[in-house]
Chains A and B, each alone.
Chain A
């Protein structure tokens, strides 16, 4: 290093000497312009500028070298900074917070912070028997009172349920009573965003008055408020019904991931619970003209949970570090330190993985692995690429209320004109087409409904002919002198949608349909969806075990492309079904209705694709989490 720097330091001297020697020649009457010789010094300078830097200076992000079975810091490559100093976090939320229960591979609740539970026969009360000896990271014991404080104060989470009251039955026993049955309660509270438990010490009261100025308003999704006791959340209880408020199932489910690559509310600050900043009951903002919420409001001020890790360091825009919060009640934490390194560019993330700078990536929609880079990862002996099933479904929906697609024969014709095999080739290996509104990973998946719709262009043409669309000039079908032209809207957020749109355009052309494809910025796409100003639209996919049919398929949802009174009624019944079995039956009817009416051209799903170093062993992703499936990383080993 020293000789190199010495040469570099001497470079200006070479330049000086050469100029001096040139000056001597000037005296001899020669034109200096032709004689000054800068060649050597300039080349040396260039060489050392480019290569000199590479060997000197400090380095905060060391290029890691393989080590022999020595536990090491795991570096995770993420696309965005999703940590907020006030306690919100997105991609590492599952390391800090835990839930009462978790779900197994069959979608059945399993003990976590609650070692057991009892559900009343009428479905109106849940009694949780909590683990003993568990503490929050700040030393506060986790017991029935701590959980009760969560339920009563953190309304952006618990306000989504029709909770009537809570009752402490013992130090480690809490009973939660509901206004009405909520069959998915156990499934929902298994998800971090819908049931995470925080230390009561970090629930801080705040005033809603500060909302407008931004002063005391908590980050999106980090609010709580009101009291569960005697105060039903908006849209959940009888009082809400009287006020004419919509049921909360129409609200953003907590932590619902955004459509392809877009962070949800609170992803930058606050956990993306989807709660209203004002901490309104049920996480909803107050209705216009109505008084603000009575009673104190609460927000989470720091990430303090019962999980295996705590936030140790956060440098905004660069990285954050999670370190083991030992003693952890479930056992020893094997990976002591996890660094989340922010690399916004997806290709750079993959190259960082290949170079060894990071060891895991692809853990959320904000850290997606480009499909084009996957082959390279697969070929590497030092890397592992995995695709796990997801709950995310993106329908390409018809505008069935008016115009061309109000005719069911036309909708059926389009479905027969599109080959799912062709689309699967484009979506692979990160996704595929589906034949039902839910993925096989869902507890409400019915194999009987999963019937492939046949690709049959002849039948498609026949159906269109029945609808009055007959061959015309240029190979395009015409009806009453008008060509069969359709516009497909889709968002800029998912790269593969470009190809999907192109293939559909080509296939429809074969039956005489002229499809124009229009790519819109997601805001414009949402606006088109809300106004139902489209003919065909690739609706943004929602993925969650919450199975919120209302958001995707109810007429009052701004994200639904469908408006069908029968479907609305079924979804209403589904939302208030007395038990899980009845709810499952209703979910089947909802799916049958969507499929039977041919409201959707094709469903697609995106897998959870992630890649890691072979040095990371025993990593089991948490399937119940759509966004962050690193909940079980504490059991993994990294050398």
Chain B
């Protein structure tokens, strides 16, 4: 187990270094001269040649890219993500201030998704080919197919304009949490429910379950202790990936509901051409993904011991 963990950590570390390089290059990948973009953010859109050259020297854009990268990495290692070009605040502080909103939305969406998807997937598998199964599958299909932004507008029209019971936008209290959580959670629900159903149906045919029944173990115990644990392996992968996406801030949903999370900060950064903000957000998002992937891998190993045996751990 120890070497498995070590191996996963090493892979994560390599990924992190790759991510820092790509994140650093972001400003050079965007069309236009980076010095001009930064100058524009600082001086207004009517910058002259002199302002652009000033920024080029001040920000070191006149140096070789590897030199710039090492300097940037030096700051990064001391957890300095730079300062916003617009309000000069430390990027890390800005990201930290937005994390609670993102975490709240991510976990509430995940909760909604799991609370609906797990029973629905379970039910669809247990009641295969009945109307219940058809309904659950249809619901899952809708969940997967409906774009989040469209569902968001539907929810606003229904809850805010028709029923007038929820605010369109805002942050604070359950009422503001309902619609963004539903918009995010319902999309995820379909995927998880479909996957659980398919996985459970597959596992249900396995010999070890037949053996368990032959030994007189109750169906409930077979389902929850033996079948579901195995069936959850692919589901956990998907949940992990989705959680990564949720934690990274879902830009469109946050934008629609005015949810002050990481996604909105990122969008502000893009609109303002505030590259340190964009770089910082992208980096944090990438790190979230990597960490969640590691966690999912470890969870795999716990769910299915064959995984760690096969890797020599």
Contacts and interface: CB of A to CB of B under 8 A. Distances in A.
B122 A559 contact: no
Interface in B129-187: 132, 153, 156-157, 159-161, 163-178, 182
B219 A31 contact: yes
Given A54-B175, A521-B32, A551-B46, A63 B166 contact: yes
B271 A220 contact: no
B57 interface: yes
A348 B168 contact: yes
Contacts of B98: 317
B175 A57 contact: yes
A523 B32 contact: yes
Nearest to A250: B48
B160 A45 contact: no
Given A81-B268, A220-B43, A252-B47, A57 B171 contact: no
B190 to A, nearest CB: 14
Given A23-B218, A81-B268, A344 B258 contact: yes
Contacts of A274: 43-44, 46
Interface in A323-355: 341-345, 347-349, 351-352, 354-355
Contacts of B88: 214, 217-219, 269
Interface size class of chain B, counting residues whose CB lies under 8 Å from the partner chain: 35 or more
B257 interface: yes
B230 to A, nearest CB: 16
Interface residues of A, number: 101
Interface string B96-117: 0110010000000000100110
B100 to A, nearest CB: 11
Contacts of B119: 38, 42, 45
B84 interface: yes
A584 B208 CA distance: 93
Nearest to B274: A268
Contact of A265 (B40, B122, B176): B40
Contacts of A42: 119-120, 123
Interface stretch (A165-173, A256-264, A388-396, A611-619): A256-264
Interface stretch (A285-293, A471-479, A562-570): A285-293
A32 B45 contact: no
Given A61-B167, A269-B87, A276 B45 contact: no
B22 interface: no
A212 interface: yes
A251 B86 contact: no
B31 interface: yes
A344 B36 contact: no
B36 A288 contact: no
A266 B258 contact: no
A286 B85 CA distance: 19
A543 interface: no
B58 interface: yes
A400 interface: no
Contact of B30 (A49, A315, A523): A523
B37 A540 contact: no
Nearest to A210: B88
B116 A59 contact: no
Contacts of A403: none
A4 interface: no
Interface stretch (A94-102, A524-532, A623-631): A524-532
Contacts of B182: 50
Interface string A384-406: 00000000000000000000000
Nearest to A217: B88
Interface in A19-70: 19, 22-23, 26, 31-34, 36, 38-39, 42, 45-46, 49-50, 53-63
Nearest to A57: B174
B110 to A, nearest CB: 13
Contacts of A45: 115-116, 119
Interface string A273-291: 0101100000011111000
A558 B46 contact: yes
B236 interface: no
A315 B176 CA distance: 16
A318 B36 contact: no
Contacts of A264: 44-45
Considering residues A81, A318, A354, which has the most beta carbons from chain B within 10 angstroms of its beta carbon? A318
Given A19-B220, A59-B167, A220-B41, A54 B159 contact: yes
A277 B40 CA distance: 12
A409 interface: no
B178 A53 contact: yes
Contact of A269 (B86, B166, B223): B86
B8 interface: no
B224 to A, nearest CB: 9
Nearest to B156: A351
B255 interface: yes
A267 interface: yes
Interface stretch (B259-267, B282-290, B305-313): B259-267
Contact of A253 (B46, B54, B58): B46
Contacts of A50: 182
A54 B178 contact: yes
Given A61-B170, A262-B271, A521-B30, A341 B258 contact: yes
B45 to A, nearest CB: 6
A459 interface: no
A211 interface: yes
A58 B85 CA distance: 36
Contacts of B85: 220
A316 interface: yes
Contact of B172 (A22, A60, A211, A268): A60
A523 B86 CA distance: 16
A60 B41 CA distance: 33
B178 A26 contact: no
B33 A527 contact: yes
A199 interface: no
Contact of B272 (A63, A263, A352, A551): A263
Contact of A527 (B31, B116, B123, B174): B31
A327 B44 CA distance: 36
Interface string A70-90: 000000010011001010100
A58 B31 contact: no
B258 A342 contact: yes
Contacts of A61: 167, 169-170, 172, 175-176
A256 B178 contact: no
A272 B223 CA distance: 63
A319 B51 CA distance: 33
A19 B218 CA distance: 12
B116 A55 contact: no
B16 interface: no
Given A285-B51, A345-B258, A355-B164, A32 B223 contact: yes
A216 to B, nearest CB: 9
Interface in B51-88: 51-54, 57-58, 82-88
B69 to A, nearest CB: 18
A286 B54 CA distance: 8
A270 interface: yes
B126 interface: yes
A292 B208 CA distance: 79
Given A351-B157, A530-B36, A62 B167 contact: yes
Contact of A341 (B170, B255, B267): B170
Given A42-B119, A262-B45, 7 more contacts: A54-B163, A63-B160, A63-B165, A268-B84, A342-B260, A344-B264, A352-B168
The 3 lowest CB-CB distance pairs between A and B, nearest first, are A57-B174, A269-B87, A252-B44
8 contacts: A60-B171, A256-B44, A269-B86, A288-B54, A347-B256, A527-B31, A551-B46, A557-B46
Interface of A: 19, 22-23, 26, 31-34, 36, 38-39, 42, 45-46, 49-50, 53-63, 77, 80-81, 84, 86, 88, 211-212, 214, 217-221, 246, 250-253, 256, 258-259, 261-270, 272, 274, 276-277, 284-288, 315-319, 341-345, 347-349, 351-352, 354-357, 520-521, 523-524, 526-527, 530, 540, 542, 551, 556-559
